[in-house]
């Protein structure tokens, strides 16, 4: 216990880690708020820069950016009616009407406090839930990992895209890209065509930066001319009475956030939309009708999306399965640092887990003062023209990709994936499932083959084994429900999820 | 979908390319191990390619069912594609990226990035030259310092070799 505590406070007592967490949170707020910059983009680029650092330092910076970024999207949603991040789409629905009424300050103050509140609930759930799940995960057979990974791909593909077919295509494409290189079990080359560079596989950081950085930059060039309208900001710190009134709703939405976050594949954007839907259905007398500036309409999504962040960490740290696109990128980072996310992570490196929990806690503490200040400078920074911003992001992407191995061919990969990603996005495909597929592909491959071998290569026995243990049966049920929900049933939930597809990023 | 959107220019062609790609992938994946067993190295690639092919067919059917793209009289579909999907600014920007990629090693990071930033900002419509030069120089200096100190990334020096700290 004392050991866990000492790891928990590692980033609190080490001045350098403290600084990195603060810097990350601060930068995250702006990255999340500036339309066109996304947390996924920032984290993918950062991984290439921080791979020489100690893993704790890299994680401290990334945790700050992640938490700050998810929150930051709400600011531009309220002030400019442009959600800075997909997780803030629901916030704009009531946030901007509030700003037009001259209540931007109160709205920002309220969202900051409930975001921090949601974050703490999420962190508590992570601290309690992850060790339990990790113990349970030791009972998982390869077939269970196979189902979890496929479930994650299905969820991200179906909830955030234009259609399930497009999500499936993107996920399978990612899995296929992840297969390129030497087969880990037999060292046989797959899709290598005798090219030495291909035997090591596709450089996946280049793929991430291409899909999330370059393609997003190209998409953003379509909307160069949009100039945001600024709102006046007055009183920011919300009154205690106001906070107390929305605490119960905030608590309920935190639960939704953690739960959705912990599902493999479903992230903060879906959590926020579902929480908004929940608030709409359960609030009898909203402060104003929804869509016209109801406080409930900003409290619900903002609590949920910040609660979802620690929620995403649960499957990432215990099962090695990403909760969303950002955690997929973080898993990539953990591999680069020689760690193997999965059930053994908490046994072999318990310090890493408690470090993450403590670090998220710290970042969440920083979020409160940083969220309640600096609004005026903020408006200036957010208005940086895209004509200046986009070339700069591209330089960062290119250099980041180059820096990993000082290899110019990685930049070609980056650009290639960027252009493919651009066309995919333009025609309504999500790139999130592709990256998830690249990360999960090797896991799916190895789990599938181990499960098949243990069923003595007999497909019927292989299918039969899915009904032999409670864990497998639960997972089969979850998979079945996910697929069923894509048919006519559950239209309501998918209906809310589909709205997220309007934004180009997953 | 409740309200099918209109098909975008080039969307049908894109789906066909995806289908062709899926078919090629299936053929190539099949070549890894064929049907020699269920747990061979080629099994999952074949399955993934099969999923791509099947979902690709479904996407193609959906795309065919969409109302065709609106083409104004006197304009062709190809022109609309150029206008909506690959406008000049995006093509130009991509060409600049390619040029930047090839210039990175011979010219070095600082010189090539500076050129890229100035040209790209200009191409995207930022016409205040002094501002462009200033922003490019200042931001590059920041990036360079941060890279060298915090991230200890080795950047190609190129033509400025020996001139920079």
Answer whether A367's CB lies under 8 Å from A339's CB: no
| Residue numbers in B near A411 (CB within 8 A) | 101, 104
Structure tokens at A224: 């160069």
pLDDT band with cut points at 50, 70 and 90 for residue B163: low
Test B42 with A190 for CB contact under 8 angstroms: yes
Q: Which range is least confidently modeled, A24-33, A79-88, A199-208?
A: A79-88
pLDDT at A42 over 90: no
Angle at B163 between CA B161 and CA B165, to 5 degrees: 100
Q: Which range is least confidently modeled, A6-10, A79-83, A432-436?
A: A79-83
Q: From the CA atom positions of chain A, what is the Rg in Å? A: 22
pLDDT at A3 over 90: no
Backbone dihedral angles phi then psi of residue B12, each to the nearest 5 degrees: -65, -45
Range B4-40 burial, b when 16+ CB lie within 10 A, else e: eeebbbbbbebbeebbebbeebbebbeebbeeeebbb
DSSP A181: E
pLDDT band with cut points at 50, 70 and 90 for residue A228: low
pLDDT at A229 over 70: no
| Residue numbers in B near A214 (CB within 8 A) | 97
Test A388 with B135 for CB contact under 8 angstroms: yes
* Nearest beta carbon to residue B125 from set A185, A387, A394: A387
Test B32 with A188 for CB contact under 8 angstroms: yes
pLDDT at A371 over 60: yes
Cα–Cα distance for residue pair A115/A303, rounded to 1 Å: 5
pLDDT, tens digit (0-9, with 9 covering 90-100), for A44-54? 888 887 878 88
**DSSP 3-state of A383:** coil
Range B109-137 burial, b when 16+ CB lie within 10 A, else e: bbbbbbbbbbbbbbbbebeeeeebeebbe
Cα–Cα distance for residue pair A87/A301, rounded to 1 Å: 8
| Mean pLDDT across A276-281 | 88
Structure tokens at A264: 């493999």
Backbone dihedral angles phi then psi of residue A192, each to the nearest 5 degrees: -100, -25
pLDDT at A36 over 90: no
pLDDT at A79 over 50: yes
Maximum distance among all Cα pairs of chain A, rounded to whole angstroms: 69
pLDDT, tens digit (0-9, with 9 covering 90-100), for A456-487? 888 889 888 888 888 899 889 988 887 777 66
Cβ–Cβ pairs < 8 A, chains A and B: 163
Q: For B103, what's the count of Cα atoms within 13 Å in the CB-facing half-sphere? A: 18
pLDDT at B77 over 80: no
pLDDT, tens digit (0-9, with 9 covering 90-100), for A394-416? 998 888 888 777 788 888 999 99
Residue of B nearest to A426 (CA): B85
Cα–Cα distance for residue pair A426/A307, rounded to 1 Å: 31
Q: Give the pLDDT confidence score for residue A300 in this predicted structure.
A: 93
Structure-model confidence comparison of residues A121 and A482, the more confident one: A121
Q: Which of residues 1-20 of B touch A (CB under 8 A)?
A: 1, 8, 11, 14-15, 18
**Other Cβ atoms within 10 Å of A112 Cβ, number:** 26
Answer whether A248's CB lies under 8 Å from A254's CB: no
Cα–Cα distance for residue pair A439/A274, rounded to 1 Å: 27
Of A458, A433, A432, the closest CA to residue A444 belongs to A433
pLDDT, tens digit (0-9, with 9 covering 90-100), for A168-208? 899 999 999 999 988 888 888 888 887 887 888 888 788 88
Q: Give the pLDDT confidence score for residue B93 in this predicted structure.
A: 92
Q: Give the pLDDT confidence score for residue A63 in this predicted structure.
A: 93
CA distances from A400 to A275, A296, A393, A408 (A): 36, 41, 10, 11
- First and final CA of chain A: distance in angstroms? 38
3-state SS, one letter per residue, for A73-123: HHHHHHHHCCCCCHHHHHHHHHHHHHHHCCCHHHHHHHHHHHHHHHHHHHH
**Other Cβ atoms within 10 Å of A199 Cβ, number:** 14
pLDDT, tens digit (0-9, with 9 covering 90-100), for B17-71? 999 999 999 999 988 887 778 888 888 999 999 999 999 999 999 999 888 887 7
Under 8 Å CB-to-CB from A326, ≥6 apart: which residues? A39, A40, A43, A66, A267, A312
Answer whether A87's CB lies under 8 Å from A48's CB: no
| Residue numbers in B near A388 (CB within 8 A) | 121, 126, 132, 135
Q: Give the pLDDT confidence score for residue A176 in this predicted structure.
A: 93
Test A224 with B121 for CB contact under 8 angstroms: no
Q: Give the pLDDT confidence score for residue A491 in this predicted structure.
A: 54
Answer whether A26's CB lies under 8 Å from A68's CB: yes
Strands (E), A98-243: 181-182, 189-190
* Nearest beta carbon to residue B41 from set A168, A183, A415: A183
Q: Give the pLDDT confidence score for residue A230 in this predicted structure.
A: 60
pLDDT, tens digit (0-9, with 9 covering 90-100), for B116-146? 999 999 988 878 889 899 999 999 998 888 7
Test A166 with B59 for CB contact under 8 angstroms: yes
Q: How many residues are present in chain A?
A: 506
* Nearest beta carbon to residue B62 from set A165, A176, A399: A165
Q: Give the pLDDT confidence score for residue A159 in this predicted structure.
A: 65
Cα–Cα distance for residue pair A490/A496, rounded to 1 Å: 10
Residue of A nearest to B126 (CA): A387
Answer whether A275's CB lies under 8 Å from A89's CB: no
Q: Where are the alpha helices (DSSP H) in B66-164?
A: 77-84, 88-107, 109-123, 129-146
Torsion of CA A472, A475, A481, A483, to 10 degrees: -90
| Mean pLDDT across A95-111 | 86
Q: Mutation test of the interface with chain A: which of B5, B38, B46, B126, choosing the one with the most A Cβ atoms within 10 A?
A: B38
| Residue numbers in B near A165 (CB within 8 A) | 55-56, 58-59, 62
Answer whether B90's CB lies under 8 Å from A221's CB: yes
| Residue numbers in B near A403 (CB within 8 A) | 147, 151, 153-155
| Mean pLDDT across A435-440 | 86
pLDDT at A503 over 70: no
Residue of B nearest to A225 (CA): B125
Q: Give the pLDDT confidence score for residue A490 in this predicted structure.
A: 53
Structure tokens at A367: 């979020």
Cα–Cα distance for residue pair A353/A316, rounded to 1 Å: 11
B103 in contact with chain A, both atoms CB, cutoff 8 A: no
B42 in contact with chain A, both atoms CB, cutoff 8 A: yes
**DSSP 3-state of A34:** coil
Answer whether A280's CB lies under 8 Å from A260's CB: no
| Residue numbers in A near B109 (CB within 8 A) | 399
Q: What was the ipTM of the complex prediction?
A: 0.91
Judging by beta carbons within 10 Å of its beta carbon (0-12, 13-18, 19+), is residue A208 exposed, middle or buried? buried
**DSSP 3-state of A189:** strand
Under 8 Å CB-to-CB from B25, ≥6 apart: which residues? A176, B45, B48, B49, B52
Choose the most confident range, by mean pLDDT, from A230-234, A446-450, B4-8. Answer: A446-450
For tokens 């991430």, name the residue: A208
Residue of B nearest to A161 (CA): B1
Instruction: Give me chain A's average pLDDT, please.
Output: 84
**DSSP 3-state of A182:** strand
Answer whether A47's CB lies under 8 Å from A325's CB: no
């Amino acid at each position: 216990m004392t050991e866990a505590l000492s790891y928990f406070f590692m980033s609190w007592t080490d001045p350098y880690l403290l600084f990195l967490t603060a810097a990350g949170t601060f930068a995250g707020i702006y990255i999340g708020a500036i339309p066109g910059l996304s947390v996924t983009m920032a984290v993918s680029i950062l991984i290439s820069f921080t791979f020489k650092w100690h893993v704790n330092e890299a994680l401290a910076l990334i945790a700050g950016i992640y938490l700050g970024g998810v929150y930051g999207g709400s600011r531009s949603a309220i002030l400019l009616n442009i959600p800075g991040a997909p997780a803030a789409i629901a916030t704009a629905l009531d946030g901007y009407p509030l700003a037009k009424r001259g209540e931007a300050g109160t709205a920002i103050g309220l969202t900051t406090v409930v975001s921090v509140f949601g974050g703490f609930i999420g962190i508590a759930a992570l601290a309690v839930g992850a060790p339990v799940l990790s113990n349970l995960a030791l009972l998982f057979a390869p077939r269970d990992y196979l189902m979890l990974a496929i479930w994650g791909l299905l969820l991200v593909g179906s909830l955030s895209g234009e259609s399930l077919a497009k999500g499936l295509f993107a996920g399978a494409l990612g899995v296929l890209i992840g297969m390129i290189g030497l087969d880990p079990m037999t060292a046989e080359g797959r899709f290598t065509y005798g090219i030495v560079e291909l035997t090591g596989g596709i450089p996946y950081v280049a793929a991430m930066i291409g899909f999330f950085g370059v393609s997003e930059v190209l998409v953003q060039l379509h909307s160069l001319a949009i100039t945001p309208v600024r709102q006046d900001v007055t009183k920011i710190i919300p009154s205690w009475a106001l906070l107390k009134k929305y605490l119960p709703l905030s608590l309920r939405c935190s639960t939704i956030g953690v739960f959705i976050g912990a599902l493999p594949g479903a992230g903060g954007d879906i959590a926020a939309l579902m929480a908004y839907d929940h608030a709409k259905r359960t609030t009898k007398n909203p402060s104003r009708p929804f869509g016209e500036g109801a406080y409930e309409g900003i409290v619900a999504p903002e609590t949920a999306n910040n609660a979802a962040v620690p929620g995403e960490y649960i499957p990432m740290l215990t099962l090695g399965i990403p909760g969303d696109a950002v955690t997929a990128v973080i898993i990539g980072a953990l591999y680069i640092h020689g760690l193997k996310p999965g059930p053994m992570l908490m046994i072999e490196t318990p310090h890493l887990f408690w470090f993450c929990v403590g670090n998220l806690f710290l970042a969440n503490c920083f979020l409160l003062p940083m969220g309640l200040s600096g609004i005026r400078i903020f408006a200036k920074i957010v208005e940086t023209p895209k004509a200046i911003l986009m070339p700069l992001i591209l330089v960062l992407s290119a250099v980041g990709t180059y820096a990993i191995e000082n290899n110019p061919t990685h930049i070609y990969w980056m650009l290639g994936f960027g252009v493919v990603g651009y066309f995919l996005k333009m025609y309504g495909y999500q790139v999130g499932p592709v990256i998830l597929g690249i990360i999960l592909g090797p896991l799916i491959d190895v789990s599938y083959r181990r499960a098949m071998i243990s069923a003595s290569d007999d497909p019927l026995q292989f299918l039969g084994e899915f009904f032999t243990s409670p864990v497998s049966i639960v997972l089969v049920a979850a998979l079945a429900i996910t697929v069923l929900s894509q048919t006519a049933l559950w239209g309501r939930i998918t209906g809310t999820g589909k709205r997220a597809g309007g934004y180009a990023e997953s | 979908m409740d309200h099918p959107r209109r098909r975008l220019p080039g969307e049908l062609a894109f789906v066909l390319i995806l289908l062709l790609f899926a078919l090629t992938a299936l053929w190539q994946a099949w070549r890894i191990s064929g049907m020699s067993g269920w747990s061979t190295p080629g099994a999952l690639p074949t399955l993934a390619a099969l999923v791509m092919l099947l979902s690709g067919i479904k996407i193609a059917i959906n795309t065919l069912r969409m109302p065709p793209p609106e083409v104004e009289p006197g304009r062709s579909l190809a022109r609309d594609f150029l206008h909506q999907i690959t406008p000049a600014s995006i093509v130009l920007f991509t060409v600049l990226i390619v040029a930047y990629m090839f210039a990175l090693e011979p010219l070095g990071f600082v010189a090539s990035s500076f050129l890229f930033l100035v040209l790209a900002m200009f191409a995207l419509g930022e016409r205040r030259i002094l501002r462009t030069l200033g922003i490019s120089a200042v931001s590059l200096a920041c990036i360079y310092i941060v890279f060298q100190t915090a991230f200890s990334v080795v950047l190609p020096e190129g033509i400025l070799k020996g001139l920079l700290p």
